[in-house]
Amino acid sequence: MGISELTNEQVQKLCEIAENAAREYVTSKVSPKKITELNIIVEAEGDKPLILNVEIDLTLSPLMKDLDAQKLADQAVKEAFASAEKYLREIGANP
């Protein structure tokens, strides 16, 4: 996602919003007790444009064999980007 120039504080908040959205999405679909591992990395690189990268490493309990962890992680990435775009619109940036 290319983004016009933001302050350091805005970039930090953008990353936090994206990470929280991804985490909330995963935990809304699966009980935290059924998650073996959940690592979310949100990185912002560059200035003009700023590039936002979201990576999710998700491992579910063997009890959750009917749920596709990769599909869940992919959807959580989409939720992270959607929340990031919403924040950018709120602050008047051009996502």
CATH code, domain carrying 19: 3.30.300.100
Q: What integer best gives the mean pLDDT of the chain?
A: 90
User: What pLDDT does 55 receive?
Assistant: 97
Q: Compute the average pLDDT of residues 82-88.
A: 93
Q: How many domains does the chain have?
A: 1
Nearest to 34 by CA among 79, 67, 78: 67
DSSP code at position 34 = G
Residue 81 has pLDDT above 90, yes or no: yes
Domain of residue 37 covers: 2-91
> Can you tell me the distance from the alpha carbon of 62 to that of 95, in angstroms, rounded to the nearest whole number?
39
Query: pTM (2 decimals)?
Result: 0.88
Residue 32, by phi and psi: left (phi above 0), alpha (psi -120 to 50) or beta? alpha
How is residue 29 written in tokens?
Answer: 């679909």
